[in-house]
Structure 1
């Protein structure tokens, strides 16, 4: 089993230490810090036993689990982490959730938004999904944003902005952070077909990428399940 080097950033020392003990062997915590700046200093400082100053570089960290003291710091922290650890998966692990932070997480390209009240097994399972390339966001978080920005319910068989039923299904899958492979398996179509539909729906809703499309879908109430029968 592959081992993933993990950086934990959280204001609480107790939480950081507890998480280090909680994670299984395939998630190796190589460093922990109270905030992004402290993490930068920790990873760049030489250790007493290493005169070369070698430390895990930004590229060697595979996963960053982070929280911020103030929600207003989220966007800046996410941007810094992307810059410091361009190859790492970023997971926002925090207390509770709200629509503004979900929107910022989607826009910032975060790989996961997880809450600290989940069980250890659920957390570990979610982290494994993230490392497989999935986007992991709580389903009730999507519902919260939809309720806040709801502009009209879209019926299961009613295309919106000229979207076909299949395109609507794929949009809903994007909201859940599903990859093309997962979408294809769920809809019993090929990944190539998913890509064709995705290109078409992005053009129709005037979005440039999957993240923008997911935000558009949330803002337009596209979160309810859609039957697959008859979809092309």
Structure 2
């Protein structure tokens, strides 16, 4: 951040008119609040997001869940892998519980409905930049009910995939963006042991890479948020 009252923002949205609307809304907030929101870049696909995040290190990313050639869940997972330290606020037309849960599980700090931007965005930005979680009041209770149901389904999914307790632990840290060495430290095992567990996990999930394993784990509900 440039100063205590400045917040750098990256807009991730594949609709140019919607991005312009976001810029206008953020400019309005600048004229009516104490903080200055500085848009440092715009992206409409995964490659652009990762490049701009590395180059600009934005404090906040405003992320749509539907982008050119990918989805916002994959973007969230990829941001974890490059150790992005800022906050991600999802802006989406999807109001289904599953979409909200998957986004939060993948690392979002908040979720705003696109048709409620005018009433929710300012509060959401203030909330997530204060290291708190933002969810619209009308879905908060539904979200936590979904979370409770998910905890049970997570156990069933792991059982069906025949994942051991240790493999579940490795998979959890993998979804947090940890390297083999970092996972080894968390679990008090060697990096070689972690590599062996990952080989088994890849085989059971029928994937060939860390990224595929993370996305598959999140989509199948194999790890808890």
TM interval, short-chain normalised: 0.5 to 0.7
Q: Which runs of 5+ in 2 are unaligned?
A: 31-35, 150-222
**Closer/same/farther in 2, CA of residues 9 and 84 from structure 1, 3 Å limit:** farther
2:115 corresponding residue in structure 1: 117
2:23 corresponding residue in structure 1: 20
Aligned counterparts, 1:101-180, within 5 A = 101-145=99-143
- Alignment TM-score, normalising by the size of structure 2: 0.53
Deviation digits for residues 1-44 of structure 1 (CA, Å, limit 9, x no counterpart):
51110001011111112211210331111000112222334567
Contact residue 7 and residue 32 of structure 1 kept, 8 A: yes
Contact residue 112 and residue 120 of structure 2 kept, 8 A: no
Indicate yes or no: 2:96 matched with 1:98.
yes
Higher helix share: 2
2:59 corresponding residue in structure 1: 62
Shift of 1:74: 3.4
Indicate yes or no: 2:39 matched with 1:36.
no
Indicate yes or no: 2:33 matched with 1:11.
no
Contact residue 9 and residue 34 of structure 1 kept, 8 A: yes
Q: Say which SS state the counterpart of residue 38 (structure 2) adopts.
A: strand
Contact residue 11 and residue 42 of structure 2 kept, 8 A: yes
RMSD between aligned alpha carbons?
A: 2.9
Contact residue 98 and residue 144 of structure 1 kept, 8 A: no
Q: Which runs of 5+ in 1 are unaligned?
A: 45-54, 152-210, 216-232
Distance of 2:46 and 2:12 partners within structure 1: 7
Distance of 2:51 and 2:147 partners within structure 1: 40
Deviation digits for residues 166-219 of structure 1 (CA, Å, limit 9, x no counterpart):
xxxxxxxxxxxxxxxxxxxxxxxxxxxxxxxxxxxxxxxxxxxxx95xx7xxxx
Larger radius of gyration: 1
Distance of 2:50 and 2:84 partners within structure 1: 13
Q: Say which SS state the counterpart of residue 66 (structure 2) adopts.
A: coil
